[in-house]
Amino acid sequence: MPDPPAPLDLSAVFGRPGPFEVEIGFGKGRFLINAATEWPQTCFLGVEVRDVLRDYVALRLARDELLNARVMQADARQFMHHAIGDGTLRAVHFYFPDPWWKKRHHKRRIWTQDLFRDYERVLEPGGLLHLASDVEEVWETLTALAEQCPNLVRAEDSVLPPLCTTNFEDKALRDGRDVGRTAYRRV
């Protein structure tokens, strides 16, 4: 049986030491681009399963000359499990995951206890897992999954400022839907 792949050397990927943060499912990249612009000292890696969105955001990052952000196409579950080493990240951003409404599509939902255990594992002590959703069922599941991780504690004071909203968040607010947003700190 082959050895599992070695975790990414994020210092080599960015050509400098961290801090490193990962956004899972960056969509059109609004949060990723705004965060990279606002915090140039932080290295941001976006992971998206759809190649068309990866390419779109890569072009925007190049256009804006944001050298502290990279994007890649990958399944978040495999990526977090194999590509990120223990205690490597200052933050993970997991915003508005696809609810996959139809029962036959529920198997596509990436929000699982295994993924949250990987979030817990890859965060450095004091690191933050940021969560947001406008779908009550999803929100309740996300927070329940985080609560089941013994080394994650709710950190309400660590929610990002409004500067870093996503397209989905703005649409939900325009449509009058509540948005759940919180963070969990790695202890």
120-171: per-residue pLDDT in tens?
A: 999 999 999 999 998 888 999 999 999 999 999 999 766 665 556 777 777 8
Q: Please check whether residue 124 lies inside any domain of the structure.
A: yes
Closest CA to 72 of 86, 61, 63: 61
Q: Please check whether residue 119 lies inside any domain of the structure.
A: yes
Q: CA-CA distance, 58 to 183, in Å (whole number)?
A: 27
Q: CA-CA distance, 129 to 185, in Å (whole number)?
A: 6
pLDDT tier at 179 (50, 70, 90 boundaries)? Answer: confident
Tell me which of 98, 114, 170, 175 is the catalytic residue: 98
Residue 14 pLDDT > 70, yes or no?
A: yes
Residue 41 pLDDT > 70, yes or no?
A: yes
Task: Output the CA angle 94-52-80, nearest 5 degrees.
Answer: 35
Q: Please check whether residue 2 lies inside any domain of the structure.
A: no
Q: Please, are residues 134 and 99 in contact by the beta-carbon 8 Å criterion? A: no
Q: Please, are residues 16 and 40 in contact by the beta-carbon 8 Å criterion? A: no
Per the annotation, the verdict on 170 as an active-site residue is: no
Q: What is the pTM of this model?
A: 0.90
Tokens at residue 99, please?
């609810």
Q: Please check whether residue 1 lies inside any domain of the structure.
A: no
Give me the half-sphere count of Cα atoms (radius 13 Å) on the Cβ side of residue 56. 12
Q: Please check whether residue 97 lies inside any domain of the structure.
A: yes
> Domain range spanning residue 118?
10-186
Tokens at residue 178, please?
């509540």
Q: Please check whether residue 5 lies inside any domain of the structure.
A: no
CATH assignment of the domain containing 43:
3.40.50.150
Q: CA-CA distance, 48 to 75, in Å (whole number)?
A: 7
Total number of domains constituting the chain: 1
Q: CA-CA distance, 156 to 120, in Å (whole number)?
A: 17
Q: Please check whether residue 3 lies inside any domain of the structure.
A: no
Instruction: Tell me the three state secondary structure of residue 95.
Output: strand
